[in-house]
Structure 1
Amino acid sequence: MNDDSLQQIAHLRREYTRGGLRRKDLPDDPLVLFEQWLSQAVAAQLPDPTAMSVATVDEHGQPYQRIVLLKHFDSRGMVFYTNLGSRKAQHLEKNPRISLLFPWHMLERQVMVLGRVEKLSMIDVIKYFHSRPRESQIGAWVSKQSSRISARGVLEGKFLELKQKFQQGEVPLPSFWGGYRITIDSMEFWQGGEHRLHDRFFYQRDNEAWKIDRLAP
């Protein structure tokens, strides 16, 4: 990349003008605001509005991030599913702390979640697994997630093999596939503002209630 290109990147910016976020308008429960913002992201037809960056940390303290889809949320927390042999699952086995980020850039919004994971029950996992499209169920069997492979053809060949194997009847749940529920410790809501005077509100769990603080941008 030449110097002119680097200069262009350094000066890329825009004003955030879609509106502010005020303390008087905040609900006591952050999930009420999250549901409202998620509904607005869906209504705005944002691509993958449930996509979230999931951050975990390995045994050496090295952070990793990847995009995962949120599949459910309620008063008990947020839920996603994955291969239990994956890198993220290995990290969470040793360190259950997790960070999520919902990057709704087109609405000039972000939501950050900090919490701790616990594995979902087998009943919950089976129920969701069999609600997926059949080919997605077969796809779950194909990949030993995060392992090294020689070529894409290895995956495609395995997929066709298993598609033939499971052409009759129900696709069984792989023993290495499951899900996690995140118990939420805190949530931060970020709304872009003019002149970089963004609005940030931080919800932190306080026993059975939530403490709310405004943060400097």
Structure 2
Amino acid sequence: MRKTREDSELTRQAILDAAERMFCERGFAATTLDAVSRAAGVTRGAFYWHFKDKTEVLAALHQRSFLPQEQILAGVADAGPDPLGCLLDATVEALQSFEQDEGRQRIFRIMSNLTPAERNDTLARLDAEMRALILRIMQRARDNGTLHPDFTPHEAQIVLSVTVVGLLREWLRSGKGFPLASFGGRLLRRQMDLLRAAPTAGRMTRPPGRASPAIKH
């Protein structure tokens, strides 16, 4: 029985590996279940034993990966007294991890190319949670006086969201034509400087002793 379970899990992973490659190369809509089954070296019956349809495969691919948005969400669960600094640190760390993980890059490419009709509830919820979290952080920065008065929290959320997603997409579109973490980190720091209010007496923009994470060049 143990061997059967191990074989079943190997088959499931083979299907997911094949689907990940084909969704990335051909697109989700253009990839058929037959093509995935052939690429995985399994029968249609074996495919349907593990998955009901392509949407279920897509959800399983997402579950075994960790998208940059999710890493940022986890990294700023407690923003502390410097919400903008905490958000910057988490975002730069997410870029560094993404740059080194080809599996996460493929999943992001697949998810980014989905049409609205193809996106499942999990992805829609993740996007909404990401926007809501950044908005809450910007509201906290406004409330403690660290957000520049020229920007509303909603405007600041748009600036950061567009920058991060744009960086990831352009890096992949350009064939990784620039160092994502080092260039992206510098760009994000410039943007945070733009969004951050000038320090006033008695208030620091970053708690004492907390340095910005080093960016690899």
Bin the TM-score by the shorter chain.
under 0.3
Q: TM (normalized to structure 1)?
A: 0.25
Which structure has the highest helix share of the two?
Answer: 2
Q: Which has the higher contact order (CA 8 A, sep 6+)?
A: 1
Q: TM (normalized to structure 2)?
A: 0.25
Which structure has the highest strand share of the two?
Answer: 1
